Amino acid sequence: MTSLSFAGVLQAADAIAGELPPTPAWSYPALNQEVGAEVIVKHENVQPTGAFKVRGGVAFAASLTGADRTAGLVTASTGNHAQSVAYAARLLGAPAVIVMPHSAAAEKEHATRLLGADVVRHGDTMGAALDHARDLAASRGMRFVSPGDEPAIVHGHATVYLELLRRHAGLDAIYVPVGSGSGAAAACLVRDELAPDCAVIGVQSAAAPAAYNSWRAGEVLEASCATRVAGVATSRGCELPLSVMCDRLDDFLLVDDGDIMAAMRLMSSAAHTLAEGAGATALAGALAHSARPGRIGVICTGGNADAGELAELAVTPVLAAG
């Protein structure tokens, strides 16, 4: 697929510049000590929606032309993509309808409604919710927004890596949590241009390995999805991100949900940061990686911890030093 390009990333960076300032990226001595590497944490948890996905939403809104700008947006999501699309529609002054599967957290539904979107609960799985969203878009004449297969969204997500690699030259590796893979594909696009020697390493929950299995096989596959970590809970690979990841992702790690909770705890104690599970998944990957190099970037993709994650944070033990 040739629809993704570094030129597209630069265009997205222009499109979001007036709306979303660059996010901070810090190194914390206590975290460096625990990980045994110099870690730069890129803080997407401080975005206005609490996650990096708003970059994709804002870039997507800017890319729309003609009737698509006013007809309104429809998508399906368990949370952060929902808030991103709601935020984008609000920027356009257009309506948004978000289909959430019954399992989605109440907090995320509430936050999405507060951005002005209509939330419809439908289906037990993301697949069922997506089918319903496609039907709604067709019957109402609105624009269906795919969570993984929109080039403008991948270009928007890539601005995370543009900011990180422009400011921090000489990183040996970047760890990226993977759900659909749009963030990991975006990282590869920017890395190829700005830092060819920096490895991009995907991290997914072992309890929802659809993207991992698809990457290994080189084709879109489905897998069971039993993770508690909402931001990375997907059951099917996504074609557009996979088209980039299959050639260019350097490595892909699976971690257990328990490791993700421990990383969330470490993010709170050593980096003063409330990450949601998905936002700590990259750190969990770095901690588990036996071949971890000396200078690494870790993307804290989001801070929208739900009630279950907050409760786990309180009972998960602090990692022992060393």
Contact set with ligand PLP (CB under 6 A): 51, 53, 80, 177-184, 231-232, 276, 278-279, 301-302
The residue (of 51 and 137) whose beta carbon lies closer to ligand PLP is 51
Q: How far is the CB of 306 from ligand PLP (least distance, A)?
A: 11
User: ∠ CA(293), CA(45), CA(182), 5° rounding?
Assistant: 65
The residue (of 4 and 169) whose beta carbon lies closer to ligand PLP is 4
Q: How far is the CB of 238 from ligand PLP (least distance, A)?
A: 8
Q: How far is the CB of 185 from ligand PLP (least distance, A)?
A: 8
Helix axes 210-217, 239-248, angle to 10 degrees: 60
The residue (of 75 and 180) whose beta carbon lies closer to ligand PLP is 180
HSE-up of residue 95 (Cα within 13 Å, Cβ side)? 10
Q: How far is the CB of 141 from ligand PLP (least distance, A)?
A: 27
The residue (of 101 and 177) whose beta carbon lies closer to ligand PLP is 177
The residue (of 123 and 148) whose beta carbon lies closer to ligand PLP is 148
Q: How far is the CB of 5 from ligand PLP (least distance, A)?
A: 18
* E strand residue ranges, the chain: 25-26, 38-43, 73-76, 96-100, 118-121, 143-144, 173-177, 199-205, 251-255, 295-300
The residue (of 38 and 309) whose beta carbon lies closer to ligand PLP is 309
Chain CA centroid to CA 282, Å: 11
Q: How far is the CB of 205 from ligand PLP (least distance, A)?
A: 10
Q: How far is the CB of 182 from ligand PLP (least distance, A)?
A: 3
Q: For 61-68, which contacts have Cβ atoms below 8 Å and span 24 or more sequence positions?
A: 61/88, 61/89, 61/91, 61/92, 62/12, 62/15, 62/16, 62/152, 63/15, 63/152, 64/92, 64/143, 68/143
Which helix (H) or strand (E) is 68 found in, with range? helix 68-71
- Cα–Cα distance for residue pair 132/149, rounded to 1 Å: 17
Q: How far is the CB of 142 from ligand PLP (least distance, A)?
A: 22
Which single residue brings its beta carbon nearest to ligand PLP?
A: 302
DSSP letter assigned to residue 144: E
- Cα–Cα distance for residue pair 238/104, rounded to 1 Å: 20
Paired with 39 in beta bridges are 296
The residue (of 70 and 224) whose beta carbon lies closer to ligand PLP is 224
Helix, coil or strand: residue 298: strand
Q: What are phi and psi of 253, to 5 degrees?
A: -115, 145
HSE-up of residue 111 (Cα within 13 Å, Cβ side)? 22
The residue (of 151 and 279) whose beta carbon lies closer to ligand PLP is 279
